[in-house]
Amino acid sequence: MVAALAGVSRSTVSRVVNASPRVAPGVVEAVNAAIVELNYVPNRAARTLASKRTLTIALVIPENTARFFADPYFASVIQGVAMYLSATDYTLTLLIASETDPEKTRRYLQGGNVDGALILSHHSDDRSYVQLATSLPVVFGGRPAGHADPNTYIVDVDNVAAAQTATRYLIDHGRRALATIAGPQNMSAGIDRLDGWRRAADAAGLDVSRVEYTDFSVSGGADAMRRLLASGATFDGVFAASSQIASGALDVLRERGISVPGDVAFTSIDNDHYAQNSIPSLTTIEQPTLEQGGKMAETLVRLIAGEEVDPLTIMPTKLIERSSV
């Protein structure tokens, strides 16, 4: 094998492969040359068996698979994860929680099959995964609702601030009768964005009573807008908790002949294709989704490596101005 060609022992080859610091530079070179020459690829299973490291990271996908995949946010985050990991030895394993009974997922995760897990669900009832963090390195994308346990690592954006910015933008452009279509109140993103809207409106001395709730979907946004109109409320500015919601709401407004931004201005969160392609295109808050995924992966890898890592990483957001205000 490689050892013979490089004229060293198997141990030394192993050390080189694992980037051990105490190998003579010349030897490192010789071994690497031999590796290239022989097109040597270390056997994963053998490494895992001997070292107890699986070099595998699980990506846990929540129960509602359909909606999960429908949301461009997740797609992008996953892509970011995959991009980061592709530069490492780690492999991504998909764990679809819904399909395999919860117990099986849990046992798989605890059974030494993975070195760590990435959790992309946001539901407050997912306390189970928070608990998982005590026995396995875990990083959450988005703060699990409830509150942050000490042991919990999170990569998120400041949803309160993002919502405030988006709302203030409406106010700064002369809108005074504000409404919001809020997301689910069992996810931190839903809660925080509503909170941000309230704070911004409150700070400007505006009425904060026009609130409709829905899930993060286009059809949900449409339904919520119908309810809002049916309620008899009048408003000239709407902050939607996501661009999917806004997109559905805009459809309804167009149907009713209400002009945007003429009669009603809109801002939202998420700079996805809904924001870009809705009519009119949306002024919105961009989250660095790819980078969030990358950061999640990086955090987990460093956690696994035993490094000290910040329990909370807040990614920056950015206002994107388009035609809806």
Contact 233, 180 (CB under 8 A): no
> Residue 172 or residue 263: which is nearer to a second copy going by CB?
263
CA 145 to chain centre: 14
Residue 210: both structure tokens together: 């026009």
Instruction: Give the whole-angstrom CA distance, residue 149 versus residue 115.
Output: 21
Binding at 11: pick from DNA, a second copy, none (beta carbon under 5-8 Å per type): DNA
Binding at 111: pick from DNA, a second copy, none (beta carbon under 5-8 Å per type): a second copy
Element (H, E) at 239: strand 237-240
Instruction: Give the whole-angstrom CA distance, residue 23 versus residue 256.
Output: 73
Number of residues that make up the chain: 325
Rounded to a whole number of angstroms, the minimum distance from the CB of residue 69 to a second copy is 3
**Pick from 267, 265, 271: which is nearest to 317 by CA?**
271
By CB under 7 A, residue 27 contacts DNA: yes
Binding at 218: pick from DNA, a second copy, none (beta carbon under 5-8 Å per type): a second copy
Per CB under 8 A, residues contacting a second copy are 41, 43-46, 48-49, 54, 59, 65-66, 68-70, 72, 74-76, 78-79, 82-83, 86, 91-94, 96, 99-100, 104, 107, 111-113, 218-219, 222, 251, 255, 273, 277, 279
Q: Which amino acid is at 37?
A: E
> Residue 217 or residue 267: which is nearer to a second copy going by CB?
217
Binding at 10: pick from DNA, a second copy, none (beta carbon under 5-8 Å per type): DNA
What's phi and psi for 11, nearest 5 deg? -60, -45
Instruction: Give the whole-angstrom CA distance, residue 109 versus residue 125.
Output: 19
Binding at 24: pick from a second copy, DNA, none (beta carbon under 5-8 Å per type): DNA
**Pick from 291, 288, 250, 295: which is nearest to 272 by CA?**
288
Binding mask 45-74 for DNA (x = CB under 7 A): -xx-xxxxx---------------------
Q: Which of 5, 32, 42, 258 binds DNA (CB under 7 A)?
A: 42
Mark the segment that binds DNA (CB under 7 A) among 13-21, 69-77, 170-178, 256-264. Answer: 13-21
Instruction: Give the whole-angstrom CA distance, residue 165 versus residue 284.
Output: 10
Contact 267, 166 (CB under 8 A): yes
Instruction: Give the whole-angstrom CA distance, residue 235 versus residue 265.
Output: 9
By CB under 7 A, residue 14 contacts DNA: yes
By CB under 7 A, residue 93 contacts DNA: no
- Give the interface with DNA as residue ranges (CB under 7 A): 1, 7-15, 17-18, 22-24, 26-27, 40-43, 46-47, 49-53
